[in-house]
Amino acid sequence: MHKLSTTTLIGLAVVALIAGGLLYALAKNIEEQKILSITSFQECAEAGYPIMESYPEQCATPDGRTFINEEQQQTSNDGLGLQANGCAVAGCSGQLCVSADEAGDVVTTCEYRAEYACYKEASCEPQANGKCGWTMSNELRTCLANPPALDADLQVF
């Protein structure tokens, strides 16, 4: 069996460290290039970066850029939110369903609660009593009973 000298072992360790450092630098460079290549909300979301719970949604890259979901265009001309059948989504976090006539007068605080995510797919429409409200589908009831967890890194602007 051939014995390696201490100098040879130290030399191999140095070569291994240098190779490891080069591989690490290459991986970081590839990751930076991946981040810099993102130019849209869709690409940001597909890359797995956080989606902010705002309306319209925004996606944030690690380098501080944000991209707005252009597919979530508001239909009202006054920036209130989605309107249909005389009802409108209102509130800073899109958590209210009110009459389109009163939507401009609604003022809410801008905090975000986990259950507000449930209203994203819910229907804001006239109810049996004639007033606007969220239609309590089975999906909405289930979501409100067990809302998705809030992301601790999530920032709302």
pLDDT per residue of the chain (157 residues) written in tens, 0 to 9: 567 788 888 888 899 999 998 888 888 777 888 888 899 999 999 999 988 877 678 888 988 888 888 877 544 434 445 666 788 888 888 889 998 888 777 888 778 888 988 988 888 889 999 899 999 999 999 999 999 887 655 544 4
pLDDT score of 91: 85
pTM for the model stands at 0.44
60: β partners? 66
What span, in angstroms and rounded, lies between the C-alpha atoms of 74 and 149?
A: 26
* Residue 126 φ/ψ, nearest 5 degrees: -60, 135
pLDDT score of 139: 92
CB atoms within 10 A of CB 122: 19
What span, in angstroms and rounded, lies between the C-alpha atoms of 115 and 30?
A: 37
pLDDT score of 155: 47
Residues 6+ apart with CB under 8 A from 86: 99, 100, 101, 126, 132
First to last CA, the chain: 67
Taking Cα atoms as reference points, which of 68, 70, 73 lies closest to residue 52?
A: 68
pLDDT (tens digit per residue) in 47-76: 999 888 776 788 889 888 888 888 775 444
What is the helix (H) or strand (E) element at residue 125, kind and residue range? strand 124-126
pLDDT score of 110: 79
Report whether 52 contacts 58 (CB < 8 A).
Answer: yes
pLDDT score of 93: 83
